[in-house]
Structure 1
């Protein structure tokens, strides 16, 4: 395995007439990449799409599981290629995918996300414009364990998740939008970095949804919430000009009180995680998502 795109891509990869490129960075996602690709290949999209899975730093069967979907993609008139990188790190994986991509519309999809059938077509329609645009679907936060389910109930009601286009786990841009930055820098929050390259008026939320799983269990929720906060702080420090595009809505005390009264347990867990993050000193962290 190496980092050269031409050497690492499957031999039958073709790139003619591509409308949309879906880039899926995947590090040790053998258990989940199949569900992601199965949902993606169930899309009702009449255009020509290419899927590029970038298996970065994997020690499991992520790459071989992804390759097993190549024939299904070909049967749809799509292409599916796998790039294997010995190096870990999501920014490097995104850059490798971009270097190989042919589609003017780029969809960046986390390997644990599952899309609904109409989402890809709606994203393409929203981004079929000469002016810069950013788009995402309606995020459906999912969790399995009781603590995480309670946390998710509140998180869905937070104004930022409910009223804007957060792009968690899935975001897409057109060619004019992608031209706004070069390579992905080595940062924590690639989703925030991209979203803030666009004025709120340039962001489009389409109605179709996708399932985005969150961390499971108290410790993992705290760790990932700390990671999210660190990612936002890093963007503010390194790219202060981008902050002008932030449109995070206020979360008034009266609204918080109403949510707390309607779901006391969920609010206690949500607020407790936030408090634990504030009270725990930041140090070198394992940023992997707990499942």
Structure 2
């Protein structure tokens, strides 16, 4: 069956918004594209003129597809472990129109991490209402619940994300973040552990994704110990942008990426670090090249 031309045009007009909705619910660009493609297949089976509110209908369809995907992850531990790794956009950390365009649709890392800890129904309710202003009555229909129940889910999710620092929306704040990350890099290179402690929040949260899984630690001493163990190795590290905020990318002697650190900065200190040290994950990512002159 060939879908109605006007319905096809409406879908294409809505596609960017549907991708943004699915990306924020699922935390993965690839999964979001799969969800929107599935929505298109459902559109293609509709009779011409059978949908009064195309935008609302498509949001409902994509929402239901996304909640099914989230619930499937929860029931399959091997899928959940992989899906919980944040979807990261890594670029050179410079202020150019091109970089701004690349990062325009990226989701702040701290928000991605917290969203990943929410229950599927909480995550969908929060994203649809707080990020896309979808009424609770419509969200309730997606979840097969009442509008009041959907409102409670969003409220519960909101409490969990209320302490997430806002993304670096202005140049001044972003420059302050860069200075903190640069100070961390300089202290690590010089083996200045007192300087490291000054730039790290005492309760900094360190989330590491390795080939064996994910670990979470709290406290600056663990990070200082890791830097101490790495002293004397031939590792090149420099600042990059991770989801629009300063981070650190490190390469080994052969030029292969060893680790990616996404940094959350508040009040002049590192309060959160998400590290990816899984070689297979790093090999699949689009990453900047190491400096040619180092």
Alignment TM-score > 0.5, same fold: no
Scaled to the shorter chain, the TM-score interval is: under 0.3
Identify the structure with bigger relative contact order (alpha carbons < 8 Å, sequence gap 6+): 1
